[in-house]
Amino acid sequence: MSEFAAKKQSDLGKEMSKSGRSVGSRLGTGLLYLILSILAVFQIYPLFWLFLFSLKTNQEVFSASPFSFPQDPQWGNYAKAWTQGHINLYFWNSVWYTVAAVVLTILFASFVTFAITRMYWKLNRLVLGLFMIGLMIPLHSTLIPLFSFFKNIGLIDNPLSIILSYTAFNLPLTIMILLGFYQTIPREIEEAAVIDGCSVHRIFFRIALPLTTPVIATTAIINMIYNWNEFVFVNTFINSDRWKTLTVGVNSFVGQYLTDWGAIGATLMISIIPILIAFIILSNRIVEGMAAGSVKG
Amino acid sequence: MAKKRALYILLSAATLILFVLSGCSSSEPTANGSGANNASGGQTVVKFMHLWPEGSSNAQYTIADNIVKEYESNHPDVKIQTEILGNDQYRDKIKVLASSNELPDVGMTWSDGFMQPYVQGNLFTPLDDVIETNLKDAFIPGVKESYAIDGKTYGMPLELNISYIFYNKEIFENHNLEVPKTFEEFKNVVKTLNDNGVIPATVGNKEGWPGSFWFMYLADRIGGPTILTDVIDGKLQFDDPAIVQAATEVQNLVDMNTFEKGNSGLSNDEAKGYFMNEQAAMFLTATWELPNYTTSPDVDQAFKDKIGYFKFPLYEGGKGTDINSYVGGPGVGLFVAENSKVKDAAKDFAAFFVKEWGARSVTEAGVIPATKVDTEGMDLNPMYTEILNDLNSASNVTTYFDTQASPNVAELHHDLIAALFGKQITPQEFVKQTQDALDAE
Amino acid sequence: MKTVMSNKWTIALYVWPALLLIGCLIYIPLIMTGYYGMLEWNGFGPREFIGLENYSRLMQDSMFWKSAYHSFLLGLFSTASLLLYLAVSLILASKIKGAELFRKIYLIPMLLSSVAIAQLWSKIFDPSNGMINRLLISLGVENPPLWLSDPNIVLFAIFIPIIWQYAGFYIIIYAAALKNVPEEVVEAARIDGATPLQIALRVKLPLISSVFKVTIVLALVGSLKYFDLIYVMTGGGPNRASEVMASYMYGEAFTKYNFGYGSAIGFALLVICLIVTWLIRKLTTSKDDYQY
């Protein structure tokens, strides 16, 4: 790693000397890269660890060092995860619950934030306050009342209960994050649009949404990760196997007395791949966001 | 164009919301847990919930699956609808279901303290009639009683576990150690192992209950086999000198460095790792671990061959003079929901399940069942045969203190055990706080 | 302008769906929680209405206040760590090479579920086999700290994975905010001879201040009701040294069957969050801000 840092440093050095910076500043940048790289190692290590973990036997999992390599890689853990963890069955449920909830959340949150920050009405702060309070309720207090609510409207063991819960519980957070961004959009833009005869819907879909692409991508990532890893709701509101999600597969390896850690590792490893891909695609959208919606310039 | 799209999206969103709200009137045939219903073809549907997922408890899962299939083929008019959850998820969900009166027709429960609120809330139905007709004298004496409240039995036990000190024979041989028969001898073993840089015993006290095994055995050996049960029954106070003595001995063991460092932050699984990797010589645990030392394909044969077990040593001058008195208790049992609409079918199925479970569980899953098993002619690992024989000659099995106590006291006990092992409280504080909680009941 | 942008029907159309959703799924449970808090109830047995008894008991419950104190400490740490995240984000936004890659890498822990994170850090903190203590022992430390079993340090030990886990969450928000800073403004400052540090602190920082304020609220509220990792890694122990409000609530409601009292704790948690948010608002609002 120090090699990597050193290389970076020299690369950077070249660039810096071109622009005629002092030695001190070069050292500073080198140090900066060193720190950034150390942080990077800290943050990427768990993925590597999880991979090793997924190939270990239960005995090795608790053996000496988390660094250690499995003696005899247990690829069978993956087969086990796939069949006994019912990944094949749960995978698509996870995907479509996540996607549906993310789309709904972002759409609703954008509507609300737009109405609160860009439109003129008296109760906007009160409504915002109502959403804010939604941020504060501890999840476990809601389980029993929510269960009886879904039971009364016949949504127990129905995927809608999951999608609606994810949407409702992520709305406050998403609105909060969007809020800071909507405030930075200059009013002149929509003033001009209104003068041009744009309707409100057009302003929302044609101006506000594209302008906020970076933050939409950001909230999409956050929402997606939350929904993907959630299991308390699924576990409580869903009874039949065909509606359960991947996280239930993970927990099915936690036993009454014995827990199959290797298979848990494998399930986690498999389940992280789609989210990793989605994340990389979306996080590129954050960067490209402005270029794509270059209304501002 | 944008307007059109906007309208479309809005409309679909609105429809969705409307759908949710109108959900009250729409009756979903599949989406409903209110006991049983008559599915197509006049079949009786019995909902059954268990906690043996295919992944973690494959053997148990397979047995349960086979029993269900067998029952269905014997009773073509009955359909068993199974839901399977992991252990912790099961515990959480059963509470939520109970709060909405949505318990499955047949489900799993733990004995004593766990089931008490359910029985008081009128959620479980008495099973004495079905036991009388189908399972008379089938259970090992005393086990069924753990599921009885006010003279009625609300659960049919499936498992029974007793605890031993499992030890690594190779480590013992390397240091010329003999299996200790008395607590003094045990302390000498600890000392020798410590002098040789081996962790004498491993225990994980994050959840408290593993450490409680040590405390309960010491209480049994010092104060006699009924002491903890007497406390629960209100015949004795928890601050009895024998219990103080037991707690003091626990801390003496801690002072002697009997246990691995930092055990109060380790889960049972993490602590077990020290034993499985031969860093620790002894592990006081219950018979649910047996597959790891006998049949489990995931564990090295070389390791399994090294593992032996011994009974918790006797305490010099203690009232518990019988080494065949154990700490243990039933694991899970089956309940039938009081408001089940197919109670008779549910009871019949539950009894069938318990009956079939017995012999199969020991041969196929390595579980010690709560029903009597005739080992004659069974091809069993010798350790099982020995333990089943031990069970037959057991003079007493004290049900775990935390299982017997109410959920409140049990939780406090777990916290206090961890604190006792961590030396954050004195034995006197330990007994006093527990007694206070018992008094508050 | 105003007439178009204050069309009542449009506002209703935009706000109602979401409001209805949280009304049913958050406010009903919320009101129920407040009500359950006034019951002596184990979750399914007979209910007894006892008015404010649970709440007055709560006021005198030293364990509750201890857990609240722990939650506040966590809130404090999380808020302080925002500065670190912000610093990293500002560095990454200053057009250095590989910034994109670094940012992506920093987000990885966030993708992992709590099960995985808890496993990983339990291994790192293991008293004798763990990574940290092996390192310390090899450096000659004789009695390295027992991270998760020493009541005096467990709380601080467990903050480390939490802060580590959330790095990605905030860095990604700041990344989006910094992306929103108009290029021309930065360019103008550069032409005026501002150093990168000055640009970061004097130009970019003020422009993302509204986002920063939002993240303060998120960090505080998130910390006050934090549950996951603490519950899996320590269960609130040892000797309740790492008990936080949410884990205390869960223990009372779900483990000990004191559902009434547990609900009271949940409701109190909500009230505390409200007060804290209100205070933050007071402290940070300037007149051109939307108040939240």
Q: Model confidence over B109-118: pLDDT tens digits?
A: 999 889 988 9
pLDDT at B367 over 60: yes
Strand B78-84 relative to strand B43-50: parallel, antiparallel, unpaired? Answer: parallel
Contacts of A66 (CB under 8 A, 6+ apart): A49, A52, A53, C120, C123, C124, C130, C131
Q: Which of A29, A63, A78 is the last residue of a domain?
A: A78
CA–centroid distance for C134 within its chain: 31
pLDDT at B224: 93
At A289 the pLDDT is 52
C114 interfacial to chain A (CB closer than 8 Å): yes
Mean pLDDT, residues A277-285 taken together? 86
Q: Does A256 touch chain B (CB under 8 A)?
A: yes
pLDDT above 70 (res C158): yes
Q: Is A169 on the interface with C (CB under 8 A)?
A: yes
Instruction: Tell me what percent of the residues of chain C surpass a pLDDT of 90.
Output: 45
Co-location of B108 and B131 in the same domain: yes
Specify whether A123 is located in the same domain as A183: yes
Q: What is the number of CB-based contacts under 8 A between chain A and chain C?
A: 290
Q: Return phi, psi of residue B149, to 5°.
A: -130, 130
Question: At B75, phi and psi to the nearest 5?
Answer: -125, 85
- Separation of alpha carbons A216 and B133, rounded Å: 65
Distance of CA C136 to the CA centre of its chain: 31
Is B45 a domain residue? yes
Task: Inform me whether the pLDDT recorded for C49 exceeds 50.
Answer: yes
Q: B341 lies in a domain?
A: yes
pLDDT in tens, A100-110: 999 999 999 99
Q: Residue C84's pLDDT is what?
A: 93
Q: Does B435 fall in a domain?
A: yes
The separation between CA C215 and the C-alpha centre of its own chain, rounded to angstroms, equals: 9
pLDDT tens-digit map of B179-189: 999 999 999 99
Domain count within chain B: 2
E strand or H helix that includes residue B296: none
**The pair of three-digit structure tokens given for residue B228, joined into one six-digit string:** 């903890």
The two three-digit tokens of residue B416, written as one number? 């206090």
- Whether the per-residue pLDDT at B349 is higher than 80: the answer is yes
At B267-293, the pLDDT tens digits run: 898 899 899 889 999 999 999 999 889
* Average pLDDT over every residue of B286-304: 87
Structural domains in chain A (count): 2
Mean pLDDT of B234-248: 95
The verdict on A141 and A274 lying in the same domain is yes
* pLDDT interval class at C201 (50, 70, 90): confident
Question: Residue B228 domain-assigned?
Answer: yes
The one-letter amino acid code at C288 reads D
Instruction: Note whether residue B6 is domain-resident.
Output: no
- Residue C78: per-residue pLDDT: 94
* Preceding omega of C238 cis (within 30 degrees of 0): yes
Residue B256 at interface with chain C, using a CB cutoff of 8 Å: no
In this structure, are B111 and B212 located in the same domain? Answer: no
Q: How confident is the model at residue A242 (pLDDT cuts 50, 70, 90)?
A: confident
For chain B, percent of residues with pLDDT exceeding 70: 91
| pLDDT for residue A67 | 67
C154/B263 Cβ within 8 A: no
Q: A175-185 pLDDT, tens per residue?
A: 999 988 888 78
Please give the residue range of the domain that contains residue A19.
2-78
Average pLDDT over residues A19-34: 74
Are A162 and A197 members of one domain? yes
Torsion of CA B316, B319, B325, B326, to 10 degrees: -80
B61 and B176 part of one domain? no
Nearest CA distance, B92 vs chain C (angstrom)? 7
Query: Where are the alpha helices (H) located in B322-364, listed in sequence order?
Result: 343-360
Q: Judge if B119 and B140 occupy the same domain.
A: yes
Last residue of some domain: A16, A47, A78?
Answer: A78
pLDDT of residue B8: 54
Residues 149 to 188 of C: which have CB under 8 A from any A CB?
A: 164, 167-169, 172-173, 175-177, 179-180, 182
Domain of B202? 161-328+397-440
B249-260: average pLDDT: 95
Confidence of residue A65 (pLDDT cuts 50, 70, 90): low
Final residue of a structural domain among B373, B405, B431: B373
Rounded to the nearest 10°, the torsion over CA B96, B102, B108, B114 is 50
Q: Which chain B residues are closer than 8 Å to C42 by Cβ?
A: 117, 121
B292 vs A contacts (CB less than 8 Å): 258
pLDDT-derived band at C143, boundaries 50, 70, 90: confident
Query: Does residue A66 lie within any of the structural domains?
Result: yes
Distance CA B86, CA B108 (A): 12
Please report whether residue A297 resides in a domain: no
A197 with A258, same domain: the answer is: yes
Instruction: Give residue B3's pLDDT.
Output: 46
**pLDDT category, C248, cuts 50, 70, 90?**
very high
pLDDT at A121: 86
Same domain, B238 and B97: no
Give the pLDDT score at A63. Answer: 66
Identify the CATH number of the domain in which residue A211 sits.
1.10.3720.10
Contacts 24+ apart (CB under 8 A), B364-367: B364/B59, B364/B62, B364/B63, B365/B57, B365/B59, B365/B60, B365/B63, B365/B291, B366/B59, B366/B290, B366/B291, B366/B294, B366/B295, B366/B296, B367/B59, B367/B60, B367/B159, B367/B288
Give the model's confidence band at B385: pLDDT under 50 very low, under 70 low, under 90 confident, else very high: confident
What domains are there in chain C, each with its CATH number? 62-284 (1.10.3720.10)
pLDDT score, position C274? 93
Q: Is B261 helix (H, G, I), strand (E, B) or coil?
A: coil
Of A29, A54, A78, the last residue of a domain is A78
Is 70 exceeded by the pLDDT of residue A96? Answer: yes
Q: Confidence band (pLDDT; 50, 70, 90) for A15?
A: very low
Same domain, B190 and B63: no
pLDDT bin (cut points 50, 70, 90) of residue B163 is very high
Chain C CB within 8 Å of residue A149 CB: yes
pLDDT single digits (tens) C92-129: 888 778 888 898 899 888 888 887 888 888 888 888 77
